[in-house]
Amino acid sequence: MVAKRIIPCLDVKDSCTVKGVNFVGLRDAGDAVELEHRYSLEGADELVYLDISATQEGRSTFCSLVEKIALTINIPFTVGGGISTLEDAARLLDAGADKISVNSAAIRNPQLISDIASKYGSQFVVIAIDARQIDGRWMATTHGGKVPTDKELLSWAYEAQERGAGELLFTSMDHDGTKAGYPLATYKALNEKLKIPVIASGGAGCVKDIADVLSEGCADAALAASIFHFGEIAIPDLKIELNKLNIPVRL
């Protein structure tokens, strides 16, 4: 049985990790390089870095950070945020990222998924979808969940898969930072719809939340931020508890 993955997520602004609720009210969660070193030692399976700096200067800072991380980390890491061209993806992959994550730009230009996958391979492309429920339907959003689109979650995820995405990172904007658990039925529906791995994001507050999304929700990986950043759950302890529940993880 394939092991389930535990993935800390670091939202990075000017080399610092920040975290909020529903993508607002950001607070400092620590130095990004120090956190990645800690999580690597603690047994994280992968890391995800999202650049939330909007300026070109922020992009340059982030590329330098990616280079620094690549020299010190021994687990795979994905980077995303503001990737809108093949050149953006190339710059981050050349800096040492193992995978790149595309989100808003792929909604504007779905061909971007195909272009990156054609050049680098599907295994390098993660389609990130930030969605919330609108009139009972899960709809993809942009701008931190503030701007709705006409992309329905399941159909957009399937299209992205067919265009070459090798993995899906779905964040529930309704649950992000709330620590109220993941929308399990939605993750199960994604698992049934797709052939590619699904990473669950948004809502982890305790071991049970993560166990539920990996078992009942059928997610291939669980991504979390604040519970790791602020020491509420230690990754080794989490994996021990998941193992006791017969959820396969790398100890």
Q: Is 141 buried (19+), middle (13-18) or exposed (0-12) by CB count in 10 A?
A: buried
Q: What tens digit of pLDDT does each residue of 196-212 get?
A: 999 999 889 999 999 99
187 C-beta neighbours (distance < 10 Å), count? 24
DSSP state of 124: G
**Active-site residue, selected from the candidate residues 45, 130, 209, 220:** 130
User: What integer pLDDT is reported at residue 46 of this predicted model?
Assistant: 97
Q: What tens digit of pLDDT does each residue of 59-85 get?
A: 655 788 889 889 988 999 999 988 999
**Active-site residue, selected from the candidate residues 11, 88, 176, 212:** 11
Q: Which domains does the chain have, with CATH numbers?
A: 5-244 (3.20.20.70)
- Give every CB contact of residue 134 below 8 A, 6+ residues apart in sequence: 148
Q: Is there a catalytic annotation at residue 130? A: yes
Taking only the tens of pLDDT, the chain with its 251 residues reads: 799 999 998 887 765 665 444 444 444 546 777 888 889 999 999 999 888 765 444 565 578 888 988 998 899 999 998 899 999 999 999 999 999 999 999 999 999 999 999 999 999 999 999 999 999 999 999 887 889 999 999 999 999 999 999 999 999 998 887 788 999 999 999 999 999 999 999 889 999 999 999 999 999 999 998 889 888 999 999 999 999 999 999 99
User: What integer pLDDT is reported at residue 15 of this predicted model?
Assistant: 55
User: What integer pLDDT is reported at residue 1 of this predicted model?
Assistant: 75
Closest C-alpha to 127, from 80, 190, 183, 195: 80
Residue 17 in contact with residue 28, Cβ under 8 Å? yes
Q: Is there a catalytic annotation at residue 176? A: no
User: What integer pLDDT is reported at residue 26 of this predicted model?
Assistant: 44
Q: What tens digit of pLDDT does each residue of 226-245 get?
A: 889 888 999 999 999 999 99
Q: Judging by DSSP bridges, how do beta strands 47-51 and 77-80 pair with one another?
A: parallel
